[in-house]
Chains A and B, each alone.
Chain A
Amino acid sequence: MLLKELTEAFGPTGFEDEIRAVVRRELDAMGLSVRTDVLGNVIASTGEHHPGPRVMLDAHMDEVGLMVTHIGEGRDEAGLLRFRPLGGVDPRVLVSKPVYVGERRLPGVIGAKPVHLQEPGEREKPIPLEKLYIDIGARDADDARRHVKPGDPVVFATAYEELPRRMAKAKSFDDRVGCYILLEAIRRWKTPLPVFAAFTVQEEIGLRGAHAAAYQIQPDIAIALEGTVAHDVVDTPSHGQSTVVGRGPAITVQDGQTVADRRFAEFLWETAKARNIPVQWRRVKGGTNDFGAIHRVGKGVVGGAISVPVRYIHAPTQLVSLDDVQHAIDLVIAVLDEIAKGGFRP
């Protein structure tokens, strides 16, 4: 199953080799023209010489992860690995979780001092990053060095599983769900229009890949396909929820890097409504996606984002609604159809 393979693929920011291979394999199988650029972005195109606006569809391949920074020496730290986050990871979600170190997926765990041995008051504060280690079972530093080196990337060891009521859990729905939507949309879409599918790198450390990809493509219209924040849970007021899982893909009004082109946002909304595809507005200002970079490349690009709500984004176990994913695919195809028909002129 492709979504399972995509979410379980290894690819923290800057180390996207394995996920890139999966994406390339899928694109090659569709017979598209595919290339990889100097940063590691994968760009596929179809209908490049057709008339009509050049449309860039974007999904980032990278995921948040960790990097091994030091191999512990001495009696206490012998063979334990120190690490730092690659991308935005709250250290509080790391405690008591399994990880894979390196593409060979060496299993490790991030543990914590037993509750029995804690000082009074210790539980009032989060465990700081300096007191967290990855334990691969090494006996000492030399033993660890045989398997790991500083700089090795680390991902959460979470299996993709489908849950009842069309829900699924996995790591890295941000943004493998976007990769999935993009692959499935381009697989199904047949109408002639110059469409460029960009699978970018390093979104999680500042939309790095998208800058270069957009420059190369020079699109007239761009749409980022993203897994976005949903915090529609108990104790969260409506204004803090951002999006609601199961209510369809979300359209951004404003985020940390973009103020939506009102015309385009309305176009997305109306296109969805006309086809009975459920949609919702993304209701927080923070965060962003690749469109934040794309829209200011060159002379500027019109467009926006279609986002799938993800609960517990950037944590080891994330939740999505597979209906939302399906609706996002349908919406992307509908939007391409409308653009091809001249329904939106940049």
Chain B
Amino acid sequence: MSKYAGVFKQLLEAHGGPGFEEDVRNLILPHLSEYASEIWSDAVGNLIGLIPGNGEGRRPRVLVSAHIDEIALVVTRIESGGFLRLAQAGGFDPRTLVGQEVVVHTEGGRLFGVIGAKPPHLTPAAERSKAAKLEDLYVDLALPEDEVRARVRVGDRVTLRRSPLELLNGRIAGKSVDNRASAAVLLEALALLKGMVHEADLYAVFTVQEEVGLRGARTAGFGLVPDIAIAVDVTFGAFPGQAPDESFPLEGGVAISFGPNLHRRVFRRLVDCAERHRIPYQIELSQRPVGADANAFQIAGPGLAAALIGPPIRYMHTSVETVAYDDIWQCARLLAHYVAEVDAAQVEELTCY
């Protein structure tokens, strides 16, 4: 069954925010090399592997993507005492940062840090009803000020520091499950696809800078101009206090997205494929362009047939994002079967309105 559960945990320990994804890229590279005949990176840093299909003439061209950046922070100021102020590089809820261990990425290497939390002994009652604001939070490096000033520069990146935890039922919690879970989906799918015959040329793309505005997807879509572009990205796991149509149970299977900016025929094929292969799935409805790489794909170059699938995760954009590995596995199965079934006729169909 799953071949990449161990690699997935390594991916969760790797650090790579928008614009500094090289460690994640380097971790994926040897695994991608097992399947791809050609591998390259584009100007913004997307890692691309081509897995050629079988067949004469013009083969269908399918792009599958997973963004590999994680939400991060940037040092904006070194305060007296050597404490660091922060700005967002991705969307954190500042309330989830209090007391959090972080890694500060400096020119000379990584530093441990912890985001300060005022002890209850010193906190007046009125203050307890207030939420932390990012501008009031700071990173404590547990170093003397002169050493901080010698080692840290404004602009240095900060990421969460969290070893993955194994919960019950194959559920895994950690940082950057969004979207390393989907990187694992792609690797699992490539392994499955190796045992299948596929007509389509497959471009497996590990995209960058999704968390700051789908930037890697834009250049990958434009650079490769595939017939079909499928983004794999996590969605909202069911949790109390969320609307039922924004809550997808863990172990509920693949979330397949439906909405105006996703190609209806690709969506139908994905659902049909899941049905035929008895892959559990759930439908996620979007009324606006989706907040994932598929948004950029749709309007890249001449316009692409875009789709979005992914596993549900709980606690998105925290350091304890939680996924069920079975959902990763089911996503991989769907992706592999779908790609294996794409043929020239299906590509023809995409423009038949």
Chain A interface residues (CB < 8 Å from chain B)? 72, 76-77, 80, 88-90, 92-93, 95-98, 106-118, 123-127, 131, 133, 135-139, 143, 147, 157, 159, 161, 163-165, 167, 169, 229, 231-235, 240, 242, 284, 286-287, 311-317, 319
Contact = CB atoms under 8 A, between A and B. Distances in A.
B121 A286 contact: yes
Task: Tell me if A's interface is mostly helix, strand, loop or mixed.
Answer: loop
19 contacts: A90-B117, A92-B95, A92-B132, A96-B100, A112-B318, A115-B92, A116-B91, A117-B242, A123-B94, A123-B131, A125-B130, A126-B129, A164-B143, A165-B142, A169-B114, A229-B119, A234-B138, A286-B122, A314-B121
Interface stretch (B22-30, B62-70, B309-317): B309-317
Interface stretch (B7-15, B165-173, B276-284, B295-303): B165-173
Contact of B121 (A92, A97, A114, A287): A287
Contacts of B314: 111, 135
B232 to A, nearest CB: 18
Q: Please classify how large the interface on chain B is, using the bins under 10, 10 to 19, 20 to 34, 35 or more.
A: 35 or more
A317 B163 CA distance: 14
A112 B95 contact: yes
B140 interface: yes
B317 A115 contact: yes
Given A117-B246, A231-B122, A143 B95 contact: no
A93 B117 contact: yes
B154 to A, nearest CB: 15
What 9 A-B pairs come out closest when comparing CB atoms? Answer: A137-B167, A111-B315, A137-B168, A109-B320, A137-B171, A114-B316, A96-B318, A96-B96, A234-B83
A143 B324 CA distance: 15
Interface stretch (B53-61, B233-241, B253-261): B233-241
Nearest to A138: B168
Given A112-B315, A229-B122, A133 B240 contact: yes
Contact of B99 (A77, A116, A315): A315
A231 B118 CA distance: 7
Interface in B307-336: 314-322, 324
Contacts of A319: 114, 140, 142
Contacts of B224: none
Given A112-B318, A137-B171, A118 B121 contact: no
Contact of B123 (A72, A90, A96, A133): A90
Nearest to B147: A165
Contact of B315 (A92, A114, A125): A114
B169 A143 contact: yes
A67 to B, nearest CB: 17
Contacts of A93: 98-99, 117
A110 B165 CA distance: 12
Contacts of A133: 240
Contacts of A164: 142-143
B136 interface: yes
B195 interface: no
B93 A97 contact: no
Contact of B79 (A157, A234, A284): A234
